[in-house]
């Protein structure tokens, strides 16, 4: 079942080490079929060199395995919670990519300092809080999804305008309309995290991008008046 | 039309990811044919793996498409303004290369701290100011070109002696006698931006290169007494 | 003798430059056959491009060459001391990998600042002291092994829960159940060293990972309740 | 003439971009035949992708071209001065490698902070002063060689024990018994420069390697009691 989606998810997972975002089996990509309400995710800890599209695992929105002989990614419940809450998300990626993880470890929101950021993220990428002991006991991965939702709701953020989050002490999650765009958003997030760290090191007083430039760059690529790319 | 120039511009665009200066479709290279007053630029947001020389778009100096079925780069108007104002420029490149963009985000001129810089740039590479809301409304890309011209004129800089600029909060533009040399100047600019950032981190009191060394290095490679390379 | 183990050790050594952990012949990997009490290690200073599995040298727990025509790694005595003292270790790797060596040169323990660290190391990776002149005179490499043991014993650390150490002014040693996992631990250690350095640069007040998150991540991958990967 | 040496110098030059030490045609390697008193150096500004062993230029100790149709490297006179003064040098390399150049731009000696340094350089790598206007007028490249000699003589340094120098505001020169070992010393110098910069950033109070460890590491690889590598 969902053979085409398995192929897409398989390719998205292979793209992660190719783009330098994951080493070994760290990281996972998934994508959902909204008609059936089922999503496809990579299996846990399987070597990328031998992994096949048919190794992908099919999961329902409660996080149960529907098809597949291998254990799904240990972060599956986080994906399930996000897909269930946000109908507009089609693909999700989790990595420990170097520079985004550095911001996550430092516990800081990633501010918009340049147009590379503004082309993809319409404002700062938030850093979500640590889970409490109670949340960890209740179910670490599902509760991680809930903390992401809490972060976006408390701050009134649009999940598609800011397609990513940093988990304090852990690393980034990104999402998009499909697995491929979620991967691309992970690439942008890591590059922007690198550039912003060194921008602040070079000039401790570097200011955030003026709102007018942020608007211009985000809106020339997104929304009804976008004019970047081909129709 | 301009088939040879399309091939050159195509190859110059492919060189950008190969040199590590762009990810995905970020960045654009162009070159002009001064006889016809037309320039060739890459199309907007087209995947580099499938792009062909015939996908390049031909543009006149007012920024109008003369030939091509694809939308040209969204930064086309910036290229047009620069080609029109500076007859001596034959090729232009825009990237979000990591280290040059870091300097652009920090809003600082890139000072000449070493001979790697002096071999290509005869002094500091200036950082141009943010556009005003009025300028953005009037036409973001064309006005960007005008702000570059303003920066060079206000400071009395020679466009060929300093073949590059940093746009505050955005990234670098470089140029040269053709597309290939504009790419090379982008490579040098990014490398120098990296070295100068860490030079200042290592020694906060690092001084600019003495004028006599700047002169010696720039002039052994450029001008009538140059003796670097083959005749 | 030990042909299969030689092949494993050979491949583990080749993996080191492939993972970017060693240049030229810096670094060495070994693995032990606990039945015979013999271990296999790479020869000293042999070019990785011409090295063969049959060039591996067989050593006993006193550090004597049992088989092989080439000189073993100059660090062989350190490996022997560790294998003799810790029955639970199956493979050992020594490198001068960039970021772990930077922490070693700075003389600081590597604190657990994130879950990438916690997935492999159950707490800070200790930095062992410099050897005294007397220890150097007695036998630099064997005494290095003894200082590693001293470090783990004085601090009451579990050798398998913290499968690595930093030698002050020198670089890292890592170990594991076999050569392959020792290599993997070297990769993790270097990546974590890089991320933690920049985490502290970005936010000088970055705190160590809360104990509850450290526990959760380490224990979902290790021990009887682990649920990461396939059975 | 000197066909074998041309092949060696050709390969040493190709190794520089392969090791990430040079971009485009920046950098040059040479080697000398002490019997004839002639050395071989790469031509100036020739593309590495089309360069052939037969393009190498043969030079005498006064810096005159003895054989070759192409212009030799613009730094040829520096090589000539060093070969003439130091009979024990067989190969010389000059690059603008990123991290060594950063130290050169900051005008600081590179201190010995670890054993990676001590395995190759028996103490700090000195930073030589800027040339005066008078020296530049007299002949920039030959005078650069003289300033290197001055640096080693004033400080009483052994040219083989410290096989490299940083030129203030410029970049490194390294040397060795042949072109291959001079390249290897450039690789070590750049890696050590990178590690030492970040060691000092991580811990501003990082101390130099104790003399006893410096002695041990240098002397287990060099001199009559060396025991590293194969006989």
- The shortest C-alpha distance from B169 to chain A (Å) reads 4
pLDDT in tens, C48-83: 889 999 999 999 999 999 999 999 999 999 999 999
DSSP C66: E
> How many residues does the structure list for chain D?
231
Residue A95's SS3 state is coil
Element containing residue B172 per DSSP (H, E): strand B171-176
Question: Is B113 in contact with D103 (Cβ distance < 8 A)?
Answer: no
Chain A residues within 8 A of B74 when measuring between CB atoms: 220, 227-228
Whether the Cβ atoms of residue D121 and residue D113 lie closer than 8 Å to each other: no
Q: Do C44 and D198 touch (CB under 8 A)?
A: no
Half-sphere exposure of D58 (CA within 13 A, CB side): 16
Using an 8 Å CB-CB cutoff, list chain A residues near B46: 230
For residues B93 and B182, the answer to whether their CB atoms sit within 8 Å is: yes
Q: How many helices and strands, by DSSP H and E, does chain B display?
A: 7, 8
Can you tell me whether residue A132 is helix, strand or coil? coil
- Cross-chain Cβ contact D197/B198 below 8 Å: yes
- Please state whether beta strands B127-128 and B164-167 pair in parallel, antiparallel, or not at all (unpaired): parallel
Domain boundaries defined on chain C: 3-222
Contact across the interface for B201 and A199, Cβ inside 8 Å:
no
CA distance B168 to chain A (A): 8
Which of D212, D216, D217, D225 is the mutation pick for testing C, counting most C CBs within 10 A?
D212
Task: Give the Cα separation of B83 and C46 in Å (integer).
Answer: 56
List CB contacts (< 8 A) between D139 and chain B: none
Task: Please give the structure tokens belonging to residue D68.
Answer: 């070759």
Q: A199, B105: Cβ pair inside 8 Å?
A: yes
Per the DSSP assignment, residues forming a β-bridge with C67 are C58
- Tell me the CA distances in angstroms from D16 to D29, D73, D187, one per residue in order: 9, 15, 9
Pull the structure tokens for residue C135: 């220890």
Concatenating the DSSP letter of every residue in chain D gives: --HHHHHHHHHHHHHHHHTTS-STT--EEEEEETTTTEEEEPBTT--TTT--GGG-EEEETTS-EEE-SSPB-TTHHHHHHHHHH-TT--EEEE---HHHHHHHHHT--B---SHHHHTT-SSPBPEEPPPPHHHHHHHHHHHHHHHHHHHHHHTT--TTTS-EEEETTTEEEEEESSHHHHHHHHHHHHHHHHHHHHHHHH-TTPPPPPHHHHHHHHHHHSSTT--SS--
Residue A57 has a pLDDT of 98
Interface of chain B toward chain A, CB-CB under 8 angstroms: 23-26, 43-46, 70-71, 74, 96, 98-99, 101-108, 130-131, 133, 136, 140, 169-171, 197, 200-201
Binary contact (A130, C210; C-beta < 8 A): yes
Distance between CA atoms of residues D216 and C137, nearest Å: 9
C12/chain D closest Cα distance in angstroms: 19
Residue found by looking up tokens 């996972």 in the block: A28
The CATH number assigned to the domain with range B3-222 reads 3.40.225.10
Cβ <8 Å between C114 and A170: yes
From first to last of its 231 residues, chain D has per-residue pLDDT tens of: 899 999 999 999 999 999 999 998 889 999 999 999 999 999 998 988 899 999 999 999 999 999 999 999 999 999 999 999 999 999 999 999 999 999 999 999 999 999 999 999 999 999 999 999 999 999 999 999 999 999 999 999 999 999 999 999 999 999 999 999 999 999 999 999 999 999 999 999 999 999 999 999 999 989 888 887 876
pLDDT, residue B45, reads 86
Distance from CA of D197 to the nearest CA of B (A): 6
Residues of A in contact with B98 (CB under 8 A): 191, 194-195
Which member of A137, A158, A215, A228 is catalytic?
A228
Smallest CA–CA distance, residue B225 to chain D, in Å, is 13
The pair of structure tokens assigned to A105 is 């470890």
Nearest Cβ partner for A195 among B25, B71, B98: B98
- Is residue D218 annotated as part of the catalytic site, yes or no? no
ipTM of the complex model: 0.95
- Contact residues, chain B to chain D, C-beta under 8 Å: 113-116, 184, 187, 191, 194-196, 198-199, 201-203, 206-207, 209-210, 212-213, 216, 220, 227-231
Neighbours of chain D (3+ CB pairs under 8 A): B, C
Report residue C141 as tokens. 């490499």
pLDDT band (50, 70, 90) for residue C231 = low
- Residues C133-151, mean pLDDT to the nearest whole number: 98
> With a cut of 70, which residues of chain A have pLDDT below it?
231
And the tokens for D229? 């590598």
Whole-number Cα distances in Å, B55 to B68, B181, D192: 7, 22, 46
CB contact under 8 A, D102 and B199: yes
Q: Which chains touch C (3 or more CB pairs under 8 A)?
A: A, D
Strand partners, C172: C166
Q: Do the Cβ atoms of C186 and C168 come closer than 8 Å?
A: no
Mean pLDDT of chain C: 96
Q: What is the pLDDT of residue D118?
A: 97
Q: Per residue of chain B (231 residues), what is the pLDDT tens digit?
A: 899 999 999 999 999 999 999 998 889 999 999 999 999 999 998 988 899 999 999 999 999 999 999 999 999 999 999 999 999 999 999 999 999 999 999 999 999 999 999 999 999 999 999 999 999 999 999 999 999 999 999 999 999 999 999 999 999 999 999 999 999 999 999 999 999 999 999 999 999 999 999 999 999 999 888 887 876
Burial grade of A1 (CB within 10 A; 0-12, 13-18, 19 or more):
exposed
For the stretch D155-187, what's the b/e string if a residue is b when 16 or more beta carbons lie within 10 angstroms of its beta carbon?
eebebeebbbbbbbbbbbbbbbebbbbbbbbbb
pLDDT value of position A45: 86
Chain A, chain C: beta-carbon pairs less than 8 Å apart:
81
Q: Do D131 and B228 touch (CB under 8 A)?
A: no
Inter-chain residue contact D210 with C130, CB threshold 8 Å: yes
User: Cβ D105–B191 below 8 Å, yes or no?
Assistant: no
| Cβ atoms of residues A218 and A47 within 8 Å | no
Percentage of residues in chain C having pLDDT higher than 90: 91
Closest chain A residue to B43, measured at CA: A229
Distance from CA of B44 to the nearest CA of A (A): 5
Per DSSP bridges, beta strands D28-33 and A164-167 are unpaired
Annotated active-site positions of B, please?
119, 228
């Amino acid at each position: 079942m969902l053979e085409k989606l398995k192929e897409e998810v398989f390719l998205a997972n292979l793209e992660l080490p190719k783009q330098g975002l994951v080493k070994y089996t760290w990281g996972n990509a998934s994508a959902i079929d909204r008609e059936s309400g089922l999503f496809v995710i990579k299996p846990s800890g399987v070597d990328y060199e031998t992994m096949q599209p048919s190794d992908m695992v099919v999961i329902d929105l409660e996080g149960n395995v529907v098809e597949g002989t291998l254990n799904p990614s240990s972060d599956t419940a986080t994906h399930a919670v996000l897909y269930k809450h946000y109908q507009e998300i089609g693909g999700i990626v989790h990595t420990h990519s170097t520079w985004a993880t550095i911001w996550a470890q430092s516990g800081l929101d990633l501010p918009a300092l340049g147009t590379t950021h503004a082309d993809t993220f319409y404002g700062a990428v938030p850093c979500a809080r640590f889970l409490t002991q109670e949340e960890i006991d209740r179910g670490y991965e599902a509760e991680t999804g809930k903390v992401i939702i809490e972060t976006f709701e408390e701050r009134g953020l649009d999940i598609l305008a800011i397609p990513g989050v940093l988990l304090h002490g852990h690393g980034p999650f990104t999402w998009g309309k499909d697995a491929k765009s979620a991967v691309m958003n992970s690439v942008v997030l890591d590059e922007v995290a690198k550039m912003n760290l060194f921008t602040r090191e070079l000039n401790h007083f570097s200011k955030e991008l003026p709102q007018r430039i942020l608007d211009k760059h985000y809106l020339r690529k997104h929304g009804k008046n976008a004019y970047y790319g081909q129709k």
